[in-house]
Amino acid sequence: MKLEQGSYYGPKTIVNDDATPVAISKFSFRVGDRVYPFDIISGFEIVTITPNRIPGILLLILGASLVSVGFLQTNSIPSLQAFEITVPPFEWLVSFGSFLCIAGLGAMLLVSKRYALRITLEMYEVDAIISRRKGYIDTIARDLNKELSKFQCVSMPVPDQSEHSRKYRRKQQA
């Protein structure tokens, strides 16, 4: 991760993950080639994306059922024959079922939680950045919040309450 200070109009903060460059300037938020101007961003949040473990569970169930059928040693299942080698049903069912069980467990364990910075724009929501590291998303969210608050303070007109402006308005009204 790399933080750099930029010029007045250029990127204020650049946060680099391994693949996607992220730049937060005075007026926009840039992720790779996509640019989100601050005036259309209405909010953002950090979202946890839970992994889909259903394929791993299905592989595990299928493998366990093949292993159990193999241990039942039913005579209705034929032997496999290839290249003059005959494999009895017990061996190929248990071997293939065990392979599917291990693949299902691997599929369930290897998928991990991911975190996304979800930006709410005027018309829709978009997951601008997705990462496995929550600290990376937190850093970008903190910098984005800082620049958005500066932008909103600059873009919202503040009424001038000085003594000079009140006298000037009274002269204009008279």
Ramachandran quadrant class, 56 (left: phi over 0; alpha: psi -120 to 50; beta: rest): alpha
- The token duo for 156 is 């919202």
Task: Quickly count: other Cβ atoms within 10 Å of residue 94's Cβ.
Answer: 17
What is the pTM (predicted TM-score) of this model?
0.62
pLDDT number for residue 172: 47
Residue 40: DSSP 8-state:
G
Could you list the mean pLDDT of each consecutive 10-residue stretch along the chain, which spans 174 residues? Answer: 45 61 83 84 87 90 87 69 68 85 90 89 85 87 84 56 46 49
Sheet holding 41-49, edge to edge: 41-49, 114-121, 125-131
Q: From CA 30, how far away is CA 55, in angstroms rounded?
A: 35
Contacts of 91 (CB under 8 A, 6+ apart): 70
**Domain extents for the chain?**
11-50+113-173, 54-109
Q: From CA 44, how far away is CA 140, in angstroms rounded?
A: 11
pLDDT number for residue 89: 67
Residue 159 corresponds to which amino acid?
P
CATH fold for the domain made of 11-50+113-173 = PH-domain like (2.30.29)
Hunting for tokens 């991911």 — which residue is that?
114
| CB 49 within 8 Å of CB 115 | yes
Q: From CA 96, how far away is CA 58, in angstroms rounded?
A: 15
pLDDT number for residue 28: 84
- For the chain, how big is the Rg over CA atoms in Å? 30
pLDDT number for residue 110: 87
- The token duo for 162 is 């000085």
